[in-house]
Amino acid sequence: MTGIVGAIVEAWDELRIHKLRVLLALIGVACAVTAITSVTAMIAMLKQATQEQTDRQNGRLVSLTVNAYPMNESAATPTEWDAAFDQLLDRYSITYASRDAWLQVPIRFADGKRAIQIRTVDADLGTINRITPATGRWFAEIDDTALAPTLVVNEAFLHSLGLVDLSSHPTVEIGDRAPVTATIIGVTRDEWPDAEPTAFVLYDQYHRWIGDDGSGIQSGGAAPAEGSAGAFMNQQVAQMYLWVPTDQASELTARIKQDMQSVAPGWQVDVQDNNYGSGGLDKASRYVGIGIGGIALLLGGLGLVNIALVTVRYRIREIGIRRSFGATSGRVFFGVMLESVVATFVAGLVGVTLSVAIIKNIPIERVFGGGIQDMPPFPLSAAVVGMVCATAVGALAGIIPASFAVRVRVIDAIRY
Amino acid sequence: MTLLELTDVTRSIRLPDDRMLHILQGVTIAVDAGEHVAVVGRSGTGKSTLLNILGLLDSPTTGEYLLEGVPIGRLSNGTRTRRRGRDFGFVFQQFNLLPGRTALENVAAPLLYARGRQFWNRTKLATAMLERVGLGDRIDTMPDKLSGGEQQRVAIARALVRGPRVILADEPTGALDVETGGAVMALLDEIASQTGAALVTITHDLAVASRAERQYRLTDGVLVPIQLDTQSDWVGDVPTLVANRSAASERRLPEPEVSA
């Protein structure tokens, strides 16, 4: 017990007394640990940013997309499609799901009436596609029972109304022959410069207020004649998004296809998942992280070995004196190695602290080209791996000078 | 029981040109507990080698070394090292204080290799020892801020802090002026006699040697008992060699022997 404590006290004393040398030796190791931890954390953040960007376009992992197309002119539009959707959610306990249909709808803007594209969706699409309004809010369940339709519009839409914000609680008329007044509750950012005005409306609200009599669906024209090619092309059902557990995605894909096919005779039902192409980035980023960290640690370790060797030569006389006090060769070996280990452990701590400071102060929007909604936690595993690697490098770097220190004859060391 | 006993000890080393250099030849000496023995001799006669063998820093080539009746050849390296730390205290000519450490840390350093109470109370024991050598007010002073005499007193405190049974002093006054050297030797004598430790002093200074109860002369590796005039004072008077004590020592001392 006293032997171990004594060795630690001795190692700590040595580090305390030779602060400058220790500092020089450890800069490399601390930088290496900072690099390992920071690169790992940044890769995690980049991965999250990329994932969130993908989520915004394709939905979260794993989202199933259900589409249906008529196979021929005689195929009737399925009347039970929406009811089957509700049953599906109950049957498979799917928490987040949304229907999604793009429609051309006339809107009365400041400069006159114009048909724009509107997405009719369910409130869950906000969660599935990570839609975060820049101002205002996204839809809530309670909006389904509102007495007027609500809209979440993009910035171009708002500007077309001659508005810059929602402070005036703006409303807008939707529809052509029997227009209704809708309240704008949120504004999303334009996806690109000079974007066209577009808006979201709740699926059920739309059909209740605007679409049920068909009067506002198509701008300024009569509904296509039944049996014409146009009618065939306009036969459609809402696309569905279902956010399902990753491990059940494959099984659910098959079962949902079967279920929905049964309510849509003469239609082709396709179910696709969005779980593709992310593994490559995972592997590549991990290899990059390991590569950068490994090289940094190797360089830091070499610097440490170099300085440790020089130091031991400088300390030979002292080691000889300690041997005269009764320091066994094992104790000298352990002491010199422990110095290196204690030093690199401290350097590891400094490196991790530095890394935390860097990661917490990264200008995320500038670096990753957009905000991160679910910030990944600081990679504790990377910090631990960095610390363990640093300490291991310290032990390896300590073995060489420690072996050298033990080989020197005591009487030669004292006279050195 | 005799504390240290060398019988017909030799120490030889092989030179780079493959010849043997015989540093010690047939050395026989016994030291009892509490005894003060001095070995005088010119530089290069093997004094330090003898001290290193006595202090378990080196091993004899031939001959027997008994430590409290136990042949040291039977002890493992680890045991020898531990006994060196526990039973021997070294005082070097150049003090050999650890750089960058205060007087207190220097004196406490040997206690890092002790066990039990000595280890845990090392600061207290080191402080007490520094007070005992008159440096109670310099415990936080770095060695380079101490005078030569003070540094040697720190070295003495360090040699004694583990309560050794033997103090091995290699030219303890070699780096000091006559007056300071006298004070240091008086202190060493006093503390050694108080603690009951045997004191073996290696010196080329007859005045230092004259303080010992028994003196030996080492000439070209051969150890011969001598008798110094111990009546002389330390300062100013240099003791004179009265006689070799044994008939054996009257023979002509051999030249340094180098054999192929």
Closest in B92, B100, B112 to A17, CB measured: B100
Is A222 in the same domain as A310? Answer: no
At A176, list the tokens: 């052509």
Q: Which of A273, A297, A320 is the last residue of a domain?
A: A273
Q: Which of A224, A241, A273 is the last residue of a domain?
A: A273
Q: How far apart are the first and last CA of chain A?
A: 32
Is A311 in the same domain as A242? Answer: no
In chain B, where are the structural domains located? 32-45+76-241
> Taking a contact as any Cβ pair under 8 Å apart, which residues of chain B between 130 and 149 contact chain A?
none
Those residues whose C-beta lies under 8 Å from the C-beta of residue A165, and which sit 6 or more positions away, are A135, A158, A187
Is A286 in the same domain as A196? Answer: no
Is A306 in the same domain as A240? Answer: no
- The rounded average pLDDT for each run of 10 residues, N- to C-terminus, in chain B (260 residues) is 90 90 93 92 87 91 92 89 91 86 93 88 93 89 90 90 91 82 85 88 87 90 82 47 47 42
Is A158 in the same domain as A202? Answer: yes
Is A159 in the same domain as A92? Answer: yes
What pLDDT is attached to residue A295? 82
* Subunit contact B109:A325, Cβ cutoff 8 A: yes
What pLDDT is attached to residue B61? 93
Query: Which of helix, strand or coil describes residue B216?
Result: strand
Q: What angle do CA B215, B220, B221 make, to 5 degrees?
A: 70
Number of A to B CB contacts under 8 A, please give it: 66
What pLDDT is attached to residue A152? 95
Is A207 in the same domain as A296? Answer: no
Is A122 in the same domain as A188? Answer: yes
- Residues on chain A touching B77 (C-beta within 8 angstroms): 328-329
Instruction: Determine which helix (DSSP H) or strand (DSSP E) holds B190, and give its type and residue range.
Output: helix B178-195
What pLDDT is attached to residue A221? 35
At A339, list the tokens: 């110095």
Provide the number of structural domains found in chain A: 2
- Nearest chain A CA: its distance from B33 CA (Å): 20
Q: Does B113 touch chain A (CB under 8 A)?
A: yes
* Subunit contact B113:A325, Cβ cutoff 8 A: yes
Q: Which CATH number fits domain B32-45+76-241: 3.30.565.10, 1.10.599.10, 3.40.710.10, 3.40.50.300?
A: 3.40.50.300
| Pairing, β B20-31 against β B4-14 | antiparallel
Domain that holds residue A294: 2-56+278-415
- The rounded average pLDDT for each run of 10 residues, N- to C-terminus, in chain A (416 residues) is 78 76 75 80 78 78 86 75 87 91 86 88 91 91 85 93 90 84 92 90 83 44 37 63 88 90 87 72 72 77 74 77 86 81 83 86 70 72 78 80 79 77
Is A307 in the same domain as A186? Answer: no
Nearest CA in chain A to B142: A17
What pLDDT is attached to residue A365? 65
Is A122 in the same domain as A52? Answer: no
Closest in A326, A331, A414 to B96, CB measured: A414
Q: Which of A273, A290, A307 is the last residue of a domain?
A: A273
